Amino acid sequence: MNEHVIHRVRDLPSAHLLGAGTAMCAGCGGLGALHQVYDVLGEKTVFVNAAGCMTLLANYPFTPFKGSWLYTAMASAPAGAQGVRDALDVLLAQGRLPPAEDLAPVVLTGDGSAYGMGLSATSAAIERGLDFLYLCYDNEGYGNTGQQSSGATPHAARTATSAGGRGHPGFKKDLFAIWAAHAPAYVATVIGAEPLDLARKVETAIGLKGPRLILALAPCPTGWDFEPAALVDVGRLAVNTGIFPLKEYRDGRITHTRIPRPRLPVEAYLSTQGRFAHLFSPRRDDAAIAAIQAQVDRYWQGVA
């Protein structure tokens, strides 16, 4: 990884990582990851933003970015990125845009769009070989409207739409595998709590052409019910318990960039969040906790 990127990430103040001084929720994991990604991408980007939490960053005609910003409906961001890329290519071909002023289209969505409403448009964009970077901040629910269940909601997590006392009955989709099945240029998982891993993967993605996904787990104090100051600790526990594997796909091969050894029990992660409180009180649900642990164990059994 480029040395100046390493030093820049190491020198980031904690307030920068936590997204202080913005209109977002305190301790927003999605904003923390976006800050770090933007530090590597630079100003020559145009964000094509699907409706979601990060839409609150833009208040027309202002955004916090020095590049460009295009707002779209939740399902339309990949199509918007296609239009932006086509328009830039036309201007370049006509000599109306100097190559030095070209912009990189970056789709910015939450999990509601990435895993659900925008998935078909994304699949089509990948199949067309669109040259774009897709950044998903995954807070595992429709966070902007009250943390309803999404295709990314993990099993047993309590949401605004989970009936009964056992939490979400379904299981989280594997968006990494869905993208990899399309054989794109690059897919990687990241988290703001591991900034050097994040920066290296974003820099790798920048150096490639074609469809590229950066999937960032975005711990959400509001929706997950934990104190904002615990953001980094929750993120690291997601990695160290093996619940969120850090990995990348390239040229048909999946590589894990961090294998947690020793791997902590999933309980260490679940117990930090109010959305899983019903697993521990008023009566401990050992069967549910064991089932989640078994699912994680099965995943890591196949990893060297």
Going from the C-alpha of 281 to that of each of 8, 9, 165, 268, the distances in angstroms are 43, 40, 11, 15
Q: Which of 232, 240, 244 is nearest to 13 (CA)?
A: 232
- Of 175, 144, 174, residue with least CA distance to 160: 144
What's the pTM? Answer: 0.91
pLDDT tens-digit readout, 198-227: 999 999 999 999 999 999 999 999 999 999
Domain of residue 138, residue span: 3-301
Is the backbone of residue 140 left (phi > 0), alpha (psi -120 to 50) or beta?
left
Q: Considering the chain, what is the average pLDDT of its residues?
A: 91
**Residue 260: C-alpha distances to residues 1, 131, 162, 265, 304 (Å):** 22, 33, 31, 11, 11
In the predicted structure, residue 287 carries a pLDDT above the cut 60: yes
Q: Read off the CATH number of the domain in which 70 is found.
A: 3.40.50.970
How many domains does the chain divide into? Answer: 1
Q: What is the pLDDT of residue 179?
A: 98
266 versus 163: which is more confidently predicted?
266
pLDDT number for residue 304: 62
